[in-house]
Amino acid sequence: MKTEIIPLDTRQVAELARHDVEMALAEDVGHGDLTANLIDRAKTARARIIAREDAVVCGLPWVKAALTALDPKVHLTMHLEEGQRCSANQTVLEMEGSARALLTAERTALNFLQMLSAVATKTAQYVAAVQGTGTQIVDTRKTLPGLRLAQKYAVRIGGGANHRIGLFDAILIKENHIAAAGGVAQVLAKAKGHSAGAAFIQIEVETLDQLREALEHDATMVLLDNMNLPTLRAAVELNRTVGTPRKIGPAILEISGGVTLEGLRELAETGVDRISIGTLTKDVRATDYSMRFDAL
């Protein structure tokens, strides 16, 4: 499966969902659902997925993929669309099909819906906190192994933006890279010579002196790591004064490290362009959904 882009159109999302669900069902079902097999093969059932709390709904393509993988003829009625907000006790979708298939698919479908809605909902909270500042909320590579594209998709559904997908599509120069290369100037020069195919080159700095050096060597995107508010304001001003006269203009400034929802607005008001937050995908509490069956 290709991973060069974060899927957003209907076909790409459906392909990603089928891929993820195939692995999840293989893990969960194995050689067969011993409990669901107690139900008559010809039995049909009707069921509903109900939200138990307010959330941004995300993961419906994964729900559909899980259900149709086990019953291609299942009938689905969506009451909410991807990205819409749901309220506690609201029915998200209804389904009718093979009782065995619905029972077997239940946990896989809910796992994806709970996890992806949690990411989208949390992202939406962070996006709302910086509304009006012009600062963008961005994800990181701190994702669940094997589910990076799905989680980054959920960030987009929640109103956030994606950073690089992995190590292969962009260059992010961090502290250890700088030390190993011999300095900011040296590593930036090396990166520019090896940037073919990279979406961008970004360098992480920890001090204003490092920022100045990066700007003087034509850095276009700079990650400001764990800086306090006064230093961040000074960094934004330095970027204006040193970066503006350059042919390429000021660098894109991004904050990373120690970001919390409580302090987010203050960080955005320093004038930075982006804030990257690992907790969007790393520390999520599953949104509460349940599936209720009505036998026919």
Catalytic residues, by residue number, are 107, 142, 174, 204, 225
User: Do 6 and 164 contact (CB within 8 A), yes or no?
Assistant: no
For tokens 């006790």, what's the residue? Answer: 89
Question: Per residue, what are the HEC states of 103-151?
Answer: HHHHHHHHHHHHHHHHHHHHHHHHHHHCCCCCCEEECCCCCCCCCHHHH
User: Do 136 and 161 contact (CB within 8 A), yes or no?
Assistant: yes
φ, ψ dihedrals at 173, nearest 5°:
-90, 120
Helix and strand numbers (H, E) in the chain are: 10, 12
Name the 3-class secondary structure at 129.
Answer: helix
